């Protein structure tokens, strides 16, 4: 009986809201429609006047960049080359670690979790041995930033989560020797040139 009363109350509330909405719109002033006004759109009651509207997708407008010198333009072109060079690796890392997290969420056995982590680690190592090891120091630095951009976590944090604190510390020491920093973070404001390159690269269209 208790649930029956709640159900009746729920129906009454819905009905009263519907009646109220009809009353609010009954005396509203609607715009005069032309012969070509055949598309149904949403409308908002603004002090008695029904204002039709339609949602639009976000439009990003980028101005024409003005270079102060040939050297500045050359530096940007180098940055663009490096960003586009490593962006696929950052996207791959994002997809692979998202899959790892999804897989880990489905198993509770510690051995199975270690196996999944090891498989992911081996895939990353294979890619490193075949491709990433050829990156320059600058490209490696950009890659660590982009991984933070895509995953919301630094490379150091990812290694620490999957391999443990000691492994993360060891990898960081090795990285620092060759000029990298696994703790590099991404800031869209400070790295606005990189952000501009990525936005205009077509990766997210």
Q: What are the residue ranges spanned by the domains of the chain? A: 2-53, 73-199
| Tens of pLDDT, residues 120-138 | 877 777 776 666 667 888 8
97 or 205: whose pLDDT is higher?
Answer: 97
pLDDT tens-digit map of 1-51 = 555 554 455 454 544 554 455 545 556 777 777 777 777 778 888 887 888
- Please count the CA atoms within 13 angstroms of the CA of 160 that sit on its side-chain side: 10
pLDDT in tens, 67-108: 889 999 999 999 999 999 989 888 888 888 888 888 888 888
Structure tokens at 132: 């990433």
Q: Which long-range contacts link 127-133 to residues 24+ away (Cβ below 8 Å)?
A: 127/89, 127/92, 131/89, 132/89
Q: How far apart are CA 130 and CA 133, in angstroms?
A: 7
- DSSP-derived letter for residue 29 is B
The whole-angstrom separation of Cα 82 and Cα 76 is 10
What distance in Å separates the CA atoms of residue 49 and residue 72, rounded to the nearest whole number? 54
Q: What is the pLDDT of residue 120?
A: 80
Mean of the per-residue pLDDT values of the chain: 77
């Amino acid at each position: 009986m208790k649930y029956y009363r709640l159900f009746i109350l729920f129906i009454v509330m819905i009905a009263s809201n519907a009646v109220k909405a009809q009353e609010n719109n009954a005396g509203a002033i609607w715009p005069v429609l032309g012969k070509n006004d055949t598309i149904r759109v949403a409308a908002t009651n603004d002090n008695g006047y029904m204002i039709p509207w339609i949602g639009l997708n976000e439009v990003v407008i980028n101005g024409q960049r003005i270079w102060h010198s040939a050297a500045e333009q050359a530096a940007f072109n180098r940055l663009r080359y490096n960003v586009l060079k490593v962006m696929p690796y950052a996207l791959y890392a994002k997809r692979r670690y998202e899959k790892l997290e999804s897989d880990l969420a489905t198993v509770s056995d510690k051995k199975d979790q270690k196996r999944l982590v090891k498989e992911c680690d081996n895939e990353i190592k294979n890619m490193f041995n075949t491709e990433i090891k050829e990156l320059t120091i600058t490209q490696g630095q950009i890659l660590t930033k982009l991984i933070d951009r895509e995953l919301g976590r630094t490379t150091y944090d990812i290694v620490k989560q999957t391999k443990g604190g000691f492994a993360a510390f060891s990898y960081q020491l090795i990285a620092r020797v060759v000029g990298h920093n696994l703790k590099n973070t991404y800031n869209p404001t400070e790295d606005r040139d990189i952000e501009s390159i990525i936005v205009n690269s077509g990766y997210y269209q």
